[in-house]
A = this chain, B = another copy of it.
Amino acid sequence: MIEPIAQALDWVGIVVFATTGALAASRKQMDVVGFALLATATGIGGGTLRDIMMGLLPVFWITKPVYLVLCVGVACAMFFLAHIPQSRLRLLLWLDAVGLALFAVTGAEKALDAGAGPIVAIAMGVVTATFGGIIRDVLAGETPVILSREIYVTAAMLAALVFTVLSAMGTARPGAMMAGFAAGLTLRAAALHWGWSLPRYKPRPPREPR
């Protein structure tokens, strides 16, 4: 019963992130092949890096190329439909929040499955959730999302942390996944709604003349 749930969550996450990649392509007014490249890199980038670092090779979309087809399909659809969600930017940010919380949990879950300990599982959740967006921003020549947004990486970390701790305490996988997902999504949603951010580093005057 776990497999189908994790699988379904993965699909939703990939579609959501592929959509954000296609929207980045629309902001740059790329052609349809540019849409396909950015959507695919964003949708599968985080999971690809996770698989590479864990040594789970070949990476997941090579054994299941349907993921590629899915990302390209999303890109083609968005090429004609991007003007709709663009007028609903708020909706898009919420979908992105869903993808972030989803990938943080499924990323951590795959790491645990592969035998990793809790620290590595949390790190893999964060990598899976954030790296697709980082690749998207580098390819599109935009400011990396990790620099500009309030409470973003932190929400991914919270989702992976809650899932991993609950799993370690013996909670059944589906329950731990739902709890982690809910925690990460709630934090990111609150940050979006109320503009929450963590305190930032503030330079102080040097203690002595240079």
- Tell me which of B26, B86, B140, B201 contacts A82 (CB under 8 A): B201
- Give chain A's interface residue range (CB within 8 Å of chain B): 35 or more
Kindly state whether residue A58 has any CB partner on chain B within 8 Å: yes
The distance in angstroms between the C-alpha atoms of A87 and B58, with both chains bound, is 43
- Tell me which of B86, B139, B144, B206 contacts A206 (CB under 8 A): B86
**Closest B-chain residue to A142, C-beta based?**
B141
Kindly state whether residue A84 has any CB partner on chain B within 8 Å: yes
* Interface residues in chain A, defined as those with a beta carbon under 8 Å from any beta carbon in chain B: 25-26, 28-35, 37, 40, 48, 52-55, 57-59, 61-62, 65, 68-69, 79, 82-84, 86-89, 116-117, 119-120, 123, 126, 130, 134, 138-141, 143-144, 146-147, 153-154, 157, 197-208, 210
- Show 21 residue pairs from A and B whose CB-CB distance is below 8 angstroms, ordered by the A residue: A25-B201, A26-B203, A29-B201, A30-B200, A30-B201, A31-B154, A31-B198, A31-B199, A32-B198, A34-B153, A37-B146, A48-B53, A53-B58, A54-B62, A57-B57, A65-B123, A83-B206, A83-B207, A87-B206, A88-B210, A138-B144
